Structures are given as C-alpha cells and as structure tokens.
Amino acid sequence: MNNKPISTSKSTNKSIWQEYLIYNDRIEFNTLFGKMTVPFDHIERVNVAESDLKRLLTRCDLQLKNFRPALKLDWANFLEHVVLDKSEGKIRRILFTPDDPEAFIRALEKALSGYRSRQAKKNV
C-alpha cells in the first residue's frame, strides 16, 4: 500500500475533527474510534447527498427506497455529505462530511479511474 495520500480532507468541525484521506488504492478514515480503511476494490458507488434533515423538512422524503443501514462518521445527517457504498464487509454504507464533498468526490473518482486502469493493465 502506498503511504502518501493523494488527497486529504481537512479536519473541521463539520467532520468532528476527523480526517479523510484518498490514496492510490484506498480511502482511509481517521476517526475518533481509530482508522478504517476501504480498498478501492470494495467501492461500489460514491456520490454527494444533501442533508437528510433538509430533505425530510423540505420534501418529507425519508429516502426509504434502496435503504441500507449506514455508519455515519460525523454530522452527515445535518450537512451535505458523501455516501460511499461498499460491496464487502459488515458495514456496507458509510456517510461522512469532508470539507468540500464535491472536490472530494472528484479526487476520489480520479484516483479510482487510475486504479482501475492499472488493474486492467495487470490483468492483460
């Protein structure tokens, strides 16, 4: 595993002072409870979602379609946040609030694309 992150979300009060890092082959969540790692091979889908509370109050939308229990690492219920769905493990959905969710997603998608390209070349 590469030890230098290619992108780091600053720890802020939105993330409860936790740090979220993107590497060439994984995401690491440095949380109050320790480090959690998600290999790129396990990532099914990632997107930005609006505040759950805002969605509930403005549209009365509980978002029950395709419901998955989630681990919420910070203030994700109250702020725009990232939703990461995994294909493996006990926890299959992680919600977290990087300092700039859109920029985090762009950096992650770029890293995922590079990773998948490298994996395809290895398998040829």
- Residue 2, domain member (yes or no): no
- Residue 15, domain member (yes or no): yes
Each residue's pLDDT tens digit, 76-110? 777 788 999 999 988 899 999 999 999 999 999 99
Mean pLDDT of 14-28: 93
Mean pLDDT of 60-71: 61
- Residue 71, domain member (yes or no): yes
- Residue 1, domain member (yes or no): no
- Residue 124, domain member (yes or no): no
**Domain of 18: which CATH number?**
2.30.29.30
- Residue 49, domain member (yes or no): yes
Count of domains observed in the chain: 1
Distance CA 8, CA 74 (A): 16
Is 0.85 surpassed by the pTM of this model? Answer: no
Q: Assess contact for 115 and 22: CB atoms under 8 A.
A: no
Q: What is the span of the domain harbouring residue 48?
A: 7-119
Strands 71-72 and 93-96, bridge-based pairing: parallel
